[in-house]
Amino acid sequence: MMEVFEAFHLIRPFWLLAILPVVTLWYAIRPKDTRASETQNGVAPHLAAALEVGGGALRRIYPIDGVALLGILLASAAAGPTWSKLPNPLVAETAPLVVALKVTSSMETPDLAPSRLERAKYKILDLIEARAGARTALVAYAGTAHRVSPLTEDPKILRPLLQGLTPAVMPVDGDNAGNALQIALDILATAETPGAVLFALDDLNPADVDAMNARDEESPTPLVFLVAAPSGTNLPQLDKVQGATVVQITTDDSDLGAIERRVRSAHAAALAADDRLRWDDRGWWLAWPAALLCALWFRRGWTMRWVLALLTLSFIHTPTSARAGGWIDWFLTPDQQGRLAFEDKEFAEAGELFEDPLWKGYAKYKSGQYEEAIAIFARLDTAEAAFAQGMAEIKSRQYRPAVRSFETAQVRRPDFPEAARNREVAMAIVEYVETTREQSDTGEESGIGADDVVFDNEAARGAETQIEAPNEDAAPLTADQWIQSIDTDMGDFLRSRFLLDNAGDG
C-alpha cells in the first residue's frame, strides 16, 4: 500500500485550476442564511431559536452543492490521478519468480508432516498454480546449486522435476545458498521484466548473508524466504538480509498470499521506475460517483435548468466521429473502454475499441490478428512499434521481415536490449530454416513451424530407413507423459545432470 502512496501523482495537474471557478460559482449562487441575524436582533438567543421556523431547512443540501461537487470530481478526473504504469502487453503482466529449494538431509526432518522438504514442495506447487500464466523457474541447492528448470508458465513441467528432488540426487552435501542466489539472478537477467527470488529453506548459513546483501544496491532483486520449519523457529540470520521478506510456512494459504503480495509489490515498483512505460490514467474511476450525483437531479426540486442547458450544448458540440456505444460513452473514452476489455482478456473487442494506434495494434496482436497488427505498427515511427511489429511478424512466420523490424527498433533506440535479443533469435530461426531447406526437401516457403516434421538423413546417405508412423488418432504427448517416458528414474536423471554441471564447473 505504501508503494501506491509513493507513486501517486497527477498526469495533468493544471486541470485542478478548474476547481477555482467551480468554487467561485458555488459561493456566488448558494443561498445565504441571513434570517438568523435579523431574528436575533433584540431577542434572546434561546427565544430566537424557539421562534425560528424552518431553521433546519437552511442547513439542507442545495442543488448547487451537488453541482459544485460534480465539478470538483470532473476536474480531478481530468487531472489524471495515477499510481501505476501500464504494463507492456507483449510481455508477461506478472513478475517472473525463481524458486530456490534447499535439498539437504535437514529438510527431511519429519516435524512438518510428511517432512520439511515435502511440505515445501507442496507449497511451491500451490504457488505455481496460484500464479497461473506467470513464469517460474526452479533451482535446487545443497553444497552446490543447480538450475533445474528455466522460466516456464507450465506447472506440469515443474511438478515431476520437483518430485525427483531429494538429498540423494545432490552431488555435494552442504548449504550454499549464495551460489543458488547467483544462478537465480542469472535466470532473471534473461527475463523482460524484473522478478523476485523465493528461497524455501529451514535454515540459512550465516556465511551466505554477505552474498545476499551484495545484490545491486540501486535496484536490488526482492528476496522472499519461506521458512519450512515448525512455527516459532527462530532464524536471526534472516533478519540480517537487507530488504528480505520472511514468511513462515502455514497449514492454510496465508503464506502464499504474503509471498504473492510481495512479488506483486516489487513488480509494480519496478514498472513505476521504467521510463519507457506510460502511466495508467485512473481518472475514469471518478466517473462513477459523478454519475450518482447526476442521478440526484431527478429529485423533485433539484432540477437546474441552466446546468441541463450546458450539458445539452456540450452534446451538440460533440464531434460527429464519436462512437455510438451507449451510455458508457458518457463516462469513458474509447481508449478507457478498450483498456477495460484488454484487462478482461477480451482482446478482439479491445482492438475495435482502442483509438490509440499503439494499443490497438497490441490488442490485435494479442487476439491473433497478426497481419492487422503489422499494418498498424508499420505506420508508427517509435521503437516500441517496430519491436511489436517484429513480434507480430515472428508469430506469422515472417522471419526475415522480423529481423529488419528489430533492427529498426535498435536504430530508433540504441539502448533496447529486448530488441537486440529478439533480433538474434529471429536470425537464428532464419538460419535454421535455410539450413533445413538445403538438407531436406520438406521445407516450406513460409518457414518450418513447430508442428512440421523434418527428416535429416545426413548420417545415413542413401541407406534405406523405416519410420513407423503413428496412428492417425494418436494424440501428442502431454508434458507429464513426456517426462514419464524417460527410461531412467527422474532422480537418476537429475543426479546425472547435476554431476555433469559439477564436471563442467571443474
- 139-162 pLDDT, tens digit each: 999 999 999 998 887 788 888 889
CA–CA dist 329, 296 (Å, integer): 20
The answer to whether residue 383 sits within a structural domain is yes
Whether residues 120 and 254 fall in one domain:
yes
More confident: 85 or 307:
85
> What's the mean pLDDT in 78-102?
74
Whether residues 113 and 246 fall in one domain:
yes
Whether residues 238 and 188 fall in one domain:
yes
Q: Which tens digits make up the pLDDT trace of 275-284?
A: 556 677 777 7
The answer to whether residue 166 sits within a structural domain is yes
Whether residues 337 and 370 fall in one domain:
yes
Whether residues 222 and 348 fall in one domain:
no
- Name the helix (H) or strand (E) containing 136: strand 136-141
Among 221, 244, 272, where does a domain finish?
272
Q: In the predicted model, is pLDDT for residue 453 greater than 70? A: no
**CATH at 114:** 3.40.50.410
In three-state secondary structure terms, 442 is: coil
In three-state secondary structure terms, 248 is: strand
**Amino acid, single-letter form, for residue 327:** W
Q: Grid cell 511478424 — which residue?
A: 393
pLDDT of residue 1: 54
The answer to whether residue 454 sits within a structural domain is no
pLDDT of residue 479: 46
The answer to whether residue 243 sits within a structural domain is yes
Q: Name which of 18-27, 102-111, 423-432, 471-480 the model is least confident about.
A: 471-480
> What's the mean pLDDT in 452-478?
46
pLDDT of residue 225: 95
Flag whether the pTM goes above 0.85: no
Q: In the predicted model, is pLDDT for residue 424 greater than 70? A: yes
Q: Is 43 exposed, middle or buried (0-12, 13-18, 19+ CB in 10 A)?
A: middle
Whether residues 152 and 231 fall in one domain:
yes
Tell me, rounded to whole angstroms, the distance of Cα 256 from its chain centroid.
Answer: 17
- Per DSSP, the residues of 448-485 read --TT------GGGTT------PPPTTPPPPPHHHHHHT
The answer to whether residue 22 sits within a structural domain is yes
The answer to whether residue 415 sits within a structural domain is yes
* Contacts (Cβ under 8 Å, ≥6 apart) of 297: 63, 66, 303, 304, 307, 308
Widest distance between CA atoms in the chain? 123
pLDDT of residue 219: 59
Q: Is 322 exposed, middle or buried (0-12, 13-18, 19+ CB in 10 A)?
A: exposed
Residue pair 22/72 in contact by the 8 Å Cβ criterion: yes
Q: Which tens digits make up the pLDDT trace of 267-314?
A: 666 555 555 566 777 777 787 787 777 766 665 655 555 555 555 555
Write down the mean pLDDT value for the chain: 76
Q: In the predicted model, is pLDDT for residue 106 greater than 90? A: yes
Q: Which tens digits make up the pLDDT trace of 223-236?
A: 999 999 998 888 88
Whether residues 376 and 404 fall in one domain:
yes
CA–CA dist 131, 288 (Å, integer): 31
The strand pair at 97-102 and 196-201 is best described as parallel
In the chain, the number of structural domains is 3
Report residue 167: phi and psi, to 5°. Answer: -55, -25
Whether residues 354 and 223 fall in one domain:
no
Signed CA dihedral, 346, 351, 355, 360: sign only: positive
pLDDT of residue 232: 82
Q: Which tens digits make up the pLDDT trace of 164-179?
A: 999 999 999 999 999 9
pLDDT of residue 85: 65
More confident: 29 or 163:
163
> What's the mean pLDDT in 92-98?
73
Domain interval for residue 419: 333-439
- At 399, list the grid cell: 522471419
CA distances from 54 to 35, 292, 440 (A): 11, 28, 97
Whether residues 249 and 161 fall in one domain:
yes
Q: Which tens digits make up the pLDDT trace of 361-385?
A: 988 988 889 999 999 999 988 888 8
pLDDT of residue 117: 94
> What's the mean pLDDT in 24-32?
80
- At 335, list the grid cell: 481508449
CA distances from 137 to 107, 145, 184, 270, 374 (A): 20, 14, 8, 20, 32
